[in-house]
Structure 1
């Protein structure tokens, strides 16, 4: 961060091993099944509404 505080320089080209590892992790993450409730409870809806996420 001290060398590029604005993070303007893309350094991934100089780190192909890191790029490969990150791609593998992202692929694995995308493949994992995430259990999502099919319906939201009234309590959750109320909280989301109060935060402005739903109307």
Structure 2
């Protein structure tokens, strides 16, 4: 996905995250593999509300 903010273009993608206990969740990272906190929190909220697949 390409997001445009002003004159800078950033690329974001979903990544599967596996915790040490084997649980799986999804997070959003940018092109530098930095965690995109707001989008990842949104996905966690959907999971918590039962509106997304684990």
Q: TM-score, normalised by structure 1?
A: 0.31
Q: Look at both structures and tell me which one has the larger radius of gyration over its CA atoms.
A: 1
Higher helix residue share: 1
Q: TM-score, normalised by structure 2?
A: 0.31
Higher strand residue share: 2
